[in-house]
Amino acid sequence: MGLISNGTTIFDNGSMASGFGGSLKFISKATASASASIEFTSGIDSTYKEYIFYFVNIHPSNNGVALQFNMSTDGGSTYAVTKTSTAFSCYHNEADTDTALFLQVSDDLAQQTGDAHLGLQTSNDNDGNTVGTLRLFNPSSSTYVKHWISDINDHGYDYSVRFFGAGYGNTNSPVNAVKFRVSSGNIDSGDILLFGVN
């Protein structure tokens, strides 16, 4: 047991953590197998104020593709929420000859309904894959826009590519479904896990 002090009182840090919440609650897992897309059409509701998707070894069928997503307000019948977003990337190659940090202006959305990119490019080499997280905040709100923050690492063309994205779905309708796919071809394999944050 660790202890925390504010200068006059000592607290058990376990009690402090439980008092502030923040524990993850597993909701569901989807495993790709030559899948055109992976959809989460249940489990996203008013139970939690934050949802986190974990991407584990997402391997594409095509080379040089990006993981992307879209949101739905009608349970997955349509995925076309209007979005505004921004992103930046950094990369470093295995040969230690090429590095960069730059804005991903071509991946920005400005009041568009198309998919938002979660990565830059992933290789379909045997060891190529994408990992990372997407955090979706208060999707069931009927007042506020639906913010997200993503943090992704791709393995593409012998590069480690880190992609940071953020944006919002410009709707005050509750978002209740999310779809993932790659920009071309299928998701050959990999897992996506959905958690709620208590």
Query: Mean pLDDT across the stretch 123-151?
Result: 97
CA distances from 67 to 39, 80, 144, 197 (A): 13, 17, 26, 23
- Name the band, by pLDDT with cuts 50, 70 and 90, for residue 83: very high
Greater model confidence, 19 or 44: 44
Query: Mean pLDDT across the stretch 19-38?
Result: 89
- pTM here is 0.88
State residue 16's pLDDT score.
45
Residue-wise pLDDT for 87-98, tens only, equals: 999 999 999 999
Determine the straight-line distance between the first and last CA of the chain, rounded to whole angstroms.
22
Q: Write down all domains in the chain, each with its CATH number in brackets.
A: 23-197 (2.60.120)
Residue 43, pLDDT > 50, answer yes
- Name the band, by pLDDT with cuts 50, 70 and 90, for residue 7: low
Query: Mean pLDDT across the stretch 171-192?
Result: 98
Gyration radius of the chain's alpha carbons: 18
Rounded CA separation 59/15 (Å): 40
State residue 156's pLDDT score.
86
